[in-house]
Structure 1
Amino acid sequence: MNILIIQPKLEKTIDQLKAELEKNPSVDIVIFPEGYLNENVEEACALARKHNTILIGGYRRLKEHPKDRAIIINRQGEIILDRIKYSSTAFITEEGLKMGHILCDELIVQGIKVEQENLDREIDLIIHPIGVGMFSKAQFEEWITEAQKIAIAHKTMIIGTSHADGSYRNSSISIPIAYCIDSDGSTVFISENDVRTRIFNMNTKNILFTNT
């Protein structure tokens, strides 16, 4: 299964997602950051259907609190997971792949919020959409360490990605982050301040950069 991992800039539209789908028609899944879709969910559903691609990330409902939600849209353009931030971790099995979904600082605040005995089978993949970049090198290292702990504890691969820009609470520092940790806690890749789009093959664990 080919996974496209993107680090778009914050935008009111989803033009960058459209462009990546046009350039990479063979991918099965696209992972994008927390809050990227804004209120363009219907358009994203149409894109998933048009390109026969699963879309996984986050979006915002501006009149709600918390505003951020986790979302998975299947190849048919149907929303198969829609979860409000800080609620219990949701899991979905799609095309034989059992996936969990955590949003941004849920990694630190609550990790995987579910009793292990309630999981009916092992998790294949955790997706971790992140909002903006890290505000310090120490935070960067903390989040990678926590991701490794989750991967080991649940014997699952975990993939995270942030926007290419934006800062947390007006911090002067924003370090874009993307990563993939294998189910044994080993590093597949860690991207620090490198916002190139990647295609990751889950079977071979090969990585292809689609832009420079």
Structure 2
Amino acid sequence: MKFLIIQPKLEKSIVQLESELHNNPSVDVVIFPEGYLNENVEQACLLAKNYNKIFIGGHRRLNDSPKDRAIIINRSGDIILDRIKYSQTAFKSVEGLKIGQILCDELVKQGVKNEDTRGIDLIVHPIGVGMFSEEQFDEWINEAKKLAIIYKTMIIGTSHADGSFRGSDVSIPIAYCFDKNGDSIFVSKNDVRTRILDIQTKTVSFPQPHSQYWENV
């Protein structure tokens, strides 16, 4: 199974997602950051159905508190997971894989919050904006590695290519993947290229052409 891991710029639409789907027809799953879909969930469901892809990431409901939510959309365009941030971690079977999500700072605030953690195949970690310091980058990478080892699962995280936390003048885009032994498959700092990960072979490639939306990040 091939996973497309994207680091889009913050946008009100989901144009970058559709561009990546068009450019990468061979992938099965697309992983995107926390809040990326904004309120474009209905459109995302149509894209998942039309392109026959699975989406794993985050969206927002502005009237909720907190507003951020984890979401999984299957190939039929159906929402199979929609969980509010800081609630109990939920797991879903997605084409034979037991997949759960932790949203952004849930990584350091609560980790995996569920009593049934047996047989997890993958944890997806949609992150909002970039890290606000080198120390935070190192802390989050180390915490993700610990989760991989504790739960014997692969873990994949990705943030937006831009944006800062509470007005910080530092924003370090982050993406990573650790295998179930805690070994690094890739760790990305300030490199917002789209990646394709084959989880069977643990190989990473960089698709071409590179989307115009990532230029001059």
TM bucket, shorter chain: over 0.9
Q: How far did 1:64 drift? A: 1.1
Q: Deviations over 1:164-206 (max 9, x none)?
A: 0000000000000000011011100000000000000001111
| TM-score, normalised with respect to structure 1 | 0.97
Instruction: Return the letter of the residue paired with 1:178.
Output: A
Q: Deviations over 1:53-72 (max 9, x none)?
A: 00000000011110000000
- How many angstroms apart in 2 are the aligned matches of 1:181 and 1:206? 12
Aligned to 2:215: none
Q: How far did 1:104 drift? A: 0.2
Aligned to 1:191: 188
Instruction: Classify the secondary structure of the residue corresponding to 2:21.
Output: helix
Q: How far did 1:94 drift? A: 1.2
- How many angstroms apart in 2 are the aligned matches of 1:91 and 1:64? 22
1:124 is the counterpart of 2:121: yes
Q: Equivalences for 1:61-72 in 2 at 5 Å?
A: 61-72=61-72
Give unpaired runs (5+ residues) of structure 2: 211-217
Aligned to 1:78: 78
Aligned to 2:139: 142
1:200 is the counterpart of 2:206: no
- How many angstroms apart in 2 are the aligned matches of 1:48 and 1:114? 28
Is 13-22 or 121-130 further displaced after alignment? 121-130
Aligned to 2:102: 102
Aligned to 1:10: 10
Instruction: Classify the secondary structure of the residue corresponding to 1:158.
Output: strand
Instruction: Classify the secondary structure of the residue corresponding to 2:185.
Output: strand
Q: Deviations over 1:116-154 (max 9, x none)?
A: xx34x4100000000000000000000000001100000
- How many angstroms apart in 1 are the aligned matches of 2:109 and 2:94? 27
Q: Equivalences for 1:3-82 in 2 at 5 Å?
A: 3-82=3-82
Residue identity over aligned pairs, in percent, reads 68
- How many angstroms apart in 2 are the aligned matches of 1:126 and 1:41? 21
Q: How far did 1:209 drift? A: 0.5
Instruction: Return the letter of the residue paired with 1:87.
Output: S
| TM-score, normalised with respect to structure 2 | 0.95
Identify which of 137, 149, 153 aligns with 1:152.
149
- How many angstroms apart in 1 are the aligned matches of 2:184 and 2:94? 25
Q: How far did 1:114 drift? A: 1.1
Instruction: Return the letter of the residue paired with 1:146.
Output: E
Q: How far did 1:26 drift? A: 1.1
- How many angstroms apart in 1 are the aligned matches of 2:193 and 2:74? 25
Identify which of 174, 177, 195 aligns with 1:177.
174
Give unpaired runs (5+ residues) of structure 1: none
Cα RMSD after superposing both structures: 0.7
Instruction: Return the letter of the residue paired with 1:80.
Output: I
